[in-house]
Amino acid sequence: MKVWIDGAIVDGNEAKISVFDHGFLYGDGIFEGMRAYNGRLFRLEDHMRRLGVSARAIGLELPGGVDSVRDIVLTTVASTGAREAYIRLLVTRGQGPLGVDPTTCSDPRVICIVDTVELFPADKAASGVDLATSSLRRPSADVLDPRVKSLNYLNNVMAKLEARRRGVDDALLLNAAGNVTEATGANIFAVCRGVLTTPTATDGVLEGITRMTVIELADKLGIPVRERSMGRLDLLGASEAFLTGSGARIVPVRSLDTELIGEVTPGPVTTRLRAAFFEFAKLNGTPIPYADCAGV
């Protein structure tokens, strides 16, 4: 694992931040989770665009702007020599005195972690994960817009803890109206009466990069796709379902609240889209400049 922090790339166990960093104290910051496939940064520009929107949404200035942050990501990945990697990019409000006032922090901090991630065991990721509907609800946009990738993930953490205590892999979060939003770290899709269906962003979902890619690939493959409000019943009546995310990639869903979804997991649409996604990811993306970091 390599980490870019305070202008230097160091081993993960050497990376340190102040206990007075407001990202640590108050979750005051934003992040992006990205993947490198076959020596390319997948949809880097889309991640940078979303990071910029998140920064504006919370009034956070990106040090050096988006171009500087982009260079940090590419340089850090290149320093590892890894052609396949998971990247966690964070921008915190920076160090400041105790108290939630963000105006007391003058120097936002960029941290880029290059490592691997496994959200689910490999066998479950291949054969299907089990979900339970969380008793918690996704906060509405007037509380904190879920399209902002902030460091405030306690809602997701507590839903995940509830699911694990119930003996399943992940939780399904509903909004205050009872509509499906997403899992704790991934978007959700279901095949409903032959149509690939996913919750609309207005119901409180992150507009995921992998989600966007799957929608585009489905259109190219002639698979009808629709974004709409979904209830728990839509998932229980679906012929198949799957999760998507930069960390998860594409993971089939086997059951919800102990009820099996469909007759076979993964289903044919999931299998087809997963194959198309990995082929697309392998061939597309921003090349990582390994040669430029030979001395790092």
- Identify whether residues 46 and 143 lie together within a single domain: no
- Identify whether residues 151 and 74 lie together within a single domain: no
Which residue numbers are catalytic?
Answer: 149
Q: Is residue 193 situated within a structural domain?
A: yes
Q: Is residue 188 situated within a structural domain?
A: yes
- SS3 of 88, please? strand
- Residues 78, 295: Cα–Cα separation, whole Å: 11
Q: Is residue 219 situated within a structural domain?
A: yes
- Identify whether residues 152 and 28 lie together within a single domain: no
Question: Domain containing 108 — which CATH number?
Answer: 3.30.470.10
| Residue 290 pLDDT exceeds 70 | yes
pLDDT in tens, 149-196: 999 999 999 999 999 999 999 999 999 999 999 999 999 999 999 999
**8 A C-beta contact, residue 188 and residue 241:** yes
pLDDT in tens, 48-102: 999 999 999 999 999 999 999 999 999 999 999 999 999 999 999 999 999 999 9
**In the chain, how many H helices and how many E strands?**
9, 16
- Identify whether residues 107 and 203 lie together within a single domain: no
Final residue of a domain: which of 58, 80, 115? 115
- Our count of domains for the chain comes to 2
Q: Is residue 29 situated within a structural domain?
A: yes
- Identify whether residues 187 and 202 lie together within a single domain: yes
Please give the sequence-ordered ranges of beta strands (E in DSSP) within 138-291, or none if there are none.
Answer: 170-174, 180-183, 187-192, 195-199, 225-228, 240-245, 249-256, 259-260, 286-287
Q: Is residue 287 situated within a structural domain?
A: no
| Residue 31 pLDDT exceeds 60 | yes
Final residue of a domain: which of 115, 141, 173? 115
The residue segments making up the domain with residue 185 are 122-282
- Identify whether residues 141 and 266 lie together within a single domain: yes
Final residue of a domain: which of 87, 115, 143? 115
- Identify whether residues 128 and 243 lie together within a single domain: yes
| Residue 221 pLDDT exceeds 70 | yes
- Identify whether residues 83 and 147 lie together within a single domain: no
Predicted confidence band of residue 292 (pLDDT cuts 50, 70, 90): low
Entry pTM: 0.95
- Identify whether residues 134 and 264 lie together within a single domain: yes
Question: Domain containing 220 — which CATH number?
Answer: 3.20.10.10
- Identify whether residues 267 and 134 lie together within a single domain: yes
**Per-residue pLDDT at 198:** 98
Q: Is residue 268 situated within a structural domain?
A: yes
Phi, psi angles (nearest 5°) of residue 199: -60, 145
